Each structure stands twice: as C-alpha cells, then as structure tokens.
Chains A and B, each alone.
Chain A
C-alpha cells in the first residue's frame, strides 16, 4: 500500500481535506460549525492554557502504512527532520522550563538522528515520550536494541495497539502487525517496561478499527490488560482511548466505506463542552519536520500553522505563543466527542 501522496490521491492535499470537511458539516449535514459550538460553550476563541508539552514530529517516514493514519506516513515518505532543526528544537527547549517532549512521526526511530536527539533532550533533563509503533523494533535487527535504548534514557513509551487480537489490528495496521507488536511488547516487558515499580512506563493506545467512537477508556483498559496478560503474559501501565480524527487516510476510509456522513454526524452530536475545555492544543505546541509550529499534530498535517508571528521553532518564544488563539476547523470535532480525545487519551 502507498501513501495518499505517493498515489497522487486528491486527499493528499490539505486544502482539499479542509474544503471537504467544511462543506460536509455546513452544507450537507447542516450542522453547526465547530467555531459556533465552541462559542456556545464559551470557549471561542480557544486560548492556550499553560504550555507543558513540546511535541516534535521528526518525520513522515514509517515502516507501516496504517489505514487510519492522519500523517499519511509510510516508507515512501521522505520528509525527515534534519539535525539542524533538531538543534533548533533543543535551543528552544533550553529557553524554557517545559518538562515534557513528545516525539512522534511516522516512526520517529527511522530518523537517522533520532538517538542523538533523544540523548540531547535528556541532557537538558526533560521527560521524553516516544510514540513507538512497536513493529519498528522487529522491522530490522538494527532496531532490536530500542527497548534497551529507551530504558537507558528512561523514556516513556506510548504505543498503538488498536485491538487485543490479530484480526482487528491487522485490518487497520497491516498483515502481521499484531504478531510483531506482541513480540515487541515482550521485549519491552523484558527490560522492565510496564512492570510494577520499574518506573519505566509503557502505555498503549487504542483507537477504533472502523467508523465508531471509542467506548469507556477504563472498560477498554481492563479488557486489554486481561487479554494481553492471559494470552501473552504482557503487562502495560495505561490504555489511552483515542478517537479517529477525520483527516488524511482515515478521512479517505470514511468516504470510501460510505461512513463519512454518519461519522461526522456522530462526532458533532457527541460534542462535549468539558472535553472541549481539555483539548490538548491548549497545553501543547507541535513542531513539524521542517521546524514549523502548529497547535497540534492534526493541524500540522492540514498545514494550519499557528496563528502567531512566531511560526518557526528557530524563533520559539513561549510568551508570544501564549498570546495566540488555537486554529480550529471541523476536524476538531474528533477531539471533543464524548469523553474527548488527545494524545494522552480522554480529556473529560
């Protein structure tokens, strides 16, 4: 399977995606815009709260081509953060007391400067989260020592595992992904990840394999913990239940499967003001592979830059950034449905 970009798909364009979303909500479904919903909840314009997460997307290259990927990542994507831009991120971090750096991709580990970058961030004494897709550990012998590398640097590992069985996982993420993910989880457990008292946190991310919303995070976590332990002896800390955002390949899936109208209607009807108050863009800044700044990784993929004179990490200025309003659009309904959704799971 190719990325939308490599196959010349219309939805590879962020302008096309945004146009489609706006048309769908306003004209087709005749539902209120996200802006109006926020306004009625007293949250418009959406102001940042205290900045606490510095999320860096180190590139779109990935060993997988998941059907729901909002990055449109894959082996054919060559956009990769350079060491120079990484240095600019480090300089930005050094200017702040920001405690958490969240590294994502693609498969962040495929960036050739990934390990150097992690070590440098740790030298600044910051907490590092890596969004590891698990299969990368098994993809090539050169990645087999990643669990040990993570352990050495006391990194928090957050990994997608959309379901506790092979059928649903592989349908979403590709054939053989579940089996490789299980092997990778065993390797992570073996160095102490997810084990009580090791201090090495391993969190899993659940997202629905289809056009429905995630159920209760607690209920799903109980289920995942039971099955993964009973069947594979695997342990982990928390499960984050995440809603699929109607962007990029997931948007394409919704349209192709005839679920687009129903899904958008569901998201809008499930708008929860409490979830809206807790959206992650309020305490996060997201850096793109080329150093540009965004309110979140979704806005990044939609080319919606921060609404601030500070647009690049080389000019990073937390005070000026705190004065911006978050750039929102109809895809944001994905973050505010039901119990809410963020990179750290539910928000309400």
Chain B
C-alpha cells in the first residue's frame, strides 16, 4: 500500500544533501551540536525532542526519539510524562487564547 509516510524514508534523511549539500551539512552539524551534552544532558534533550516530535506530529521523529530516549535509559513513565508536557502546552496554548475571545465578547456585549 502506498502511503505518504514510509518508515524506510527515515534512513534516507541524510540524503537531503543530494540537492543542497552546503545547507544540509550545516544543518547536520548544527543538529549534532544541539544534541550533544551541554548545560542540559543529552538525555534531557532527547526527552524534549520526544515531546516536540509529538507536537509537530512527525512520525519519523516520534520513531527516532522513542528509540533514542530508550537508548538513553529513560523509563516509559518519563517518556509519557514528556508527551503530557507537550499536550499540556498544546491544550494550554489553545485555552489561553480564550482570554482574547473573552475580551472580545466583553467588548461587544452589553
């Protein structure tokens, strides 16, 4: 069955340099630096990436960072809590805009 997303394509991510090498090289070098141990541990960064992956709903990233968080010794509970953080911010960011709605309602109502 043909689908827009193919798990095999994740392995081809590195090939994006085929059409624009310089920018791809810069991106991957930046990417590598971002995820290295720093003020945050590589493990903490991986959990953030997992949460963001769910927010941008990228199946490739969810696949990659599920694996990566497991490799870095995270528990399933920690991984699910990270996704809840993403969900809370997503929900909250909708809800906090309701203040705008309320303002407008109050402005135009008697």
A and B bind: yes
**Chain A residues close to B by CB (< 8 Å):** 163-165, 167-168, 206, 208, 210, 212-216, 219-220, 222-224
Pair B71/A212 contact, Cβ less than 8 Å: yes
At the interface, yes or no: B67 with Cβ under 8 Å from chain A?
Answer: yes
Number of interface residues of B (CB under 8 A): 12
**Across the interface, which residues of A come within 8 angstroms of B68, CB to CB?**
215
Pair B67/A212 contact, Cβ less than 8 Å: yes
Q: Chain A nearest CB: distance from B15 CB in Å? A: 14
Contact of B70 among A164, A206, A210 (CB under 8 A): A210
- Centre residue among A206, A210, A216 by max chain B CB count within 10 A: A216
- Centre residue among B67, B68, B71 by max chain A CB count within 10 A: B71
Residues in B65-86 with C-beta less than 8 Å from chain A: 67-68, 70-73, 75-76
Task: Please measure, in the bound complex, the distance between the C-alpha atom of A163 and the C-alpha atom of B41, giving whole angstroms.
Answer: 19
Pair B67/A220 contact, Cβ less than 8 Å: no
Task: Please measure, in the bound complex, the distance between the C-alpha atom of A50 and the C-alpha atom of B64, giving whole angstroms.
Answer: 40
Q: Which residue of A lies closest to B72 (CB)?
A: A215
- Centre residue among A165, A215, A220 by max chain B CB count within 10 A: A215
Q: List 24 A-B contacts (CB under 8 A).
A: A163-B73, A163-B75, A164-B73, A165-B75, A167-B75, A167-B76, A168-B75, A208-B71, A210-B70, A212-B67, A212-B70, A213-B71, A214-B71, A215-B42, A215-B68, A215-B71, A215-B73, A216-B42, A216-B72, A219-B37, A219-B43, A219-B72, A220-B72, A224-B73
As a 0/1 sequence over residues 72 to 109 of chain B, the CB contacts with chain A under 8 angstroms (1 = contact) are 11011000000000000000000000000000000000
**Chain B residues close to A by CB (< 8 Å):** 37, 41-43, 67-68, 70-73, 75-76
| Chain A contact residues, majority secondary structure | loop
Pair B43/A223 contact, Cβ less than 8 Å: yes
Taking A214-B71, A215-B68 as given, write out 9 further A-B residue pairs in contact, using a Cβ cutoff of 8 Å, ordered by the A residue number.
Answer: A165-B75, A167-B75, A208-B70, A210-B70, A215-B43, A216-B42, A219-B42, A220-B73, A222-B41
Task: Please measure, in the bound complex, the distance between the C-alpha atom of A212 and the C-alpha atom of B70, giving whole angstroms.
Answer: 8
Q: Which residue of B lies closest to A168 (CB)?
A: B75
**Across the interface, which residues of A come within 8 angstroms of B76, CB to CB?**
167
Q: Chain A nearest CB: distance from B75 CB in Å? A: 6
Q: Chain A nearest CB: distance from B61 CB in Å? A: 16
Closest 4 CB pairs of A and B: A215-B71, A215-B72, A220-B73, A223-B73
**Across the interface, which residues of B come within 8 angstroms of A216, CB to CB?**
42, 72
Task: Please measure, in the bound complex, the distance between the C-alpha atom of A54 and the C-alpha atom of B16, giving whole angstroms.
Answer: 49
**Across the interface, which residues of A come within 8 angstroms of B41, CB to CB?**
219, 222
Task: Please measure, in the bound complex, the distance between the C-alpha atom of A9 and the C-alpha atom of B1, giving whole angstroms.
Answer: 36
Q: Which residue of B lies closest to A241 (CB)?
A: B73
Task: Please measure, in the bound complex, the distance between the C-alpha atom of A302 and the C-alpha atom of B72, giving whole angstroms.
Answer: 30
Task: Please measure, in the bound complex, the distance between the C-alpha atom of A222 and the C-alpha atom of B67, giving whole angstroms.
Answer: 20
Pair A219/B73 contact, Cβ less than 8 Å: yes
Q: Chain A nearest CB: distance from B107 CB in Å? A: 52
Q: Chain A nearest CB: distance from B39 CB in Å? A: 15
**Across the interface, which residues of A come within 8 angstroms of B75, CB to CB?**
163, 165, 167-168
**Across the interface, which residues of A come within 8 angstroms of B73, CB to CB?**
163-164, 206, 215, 219-220, 223-224
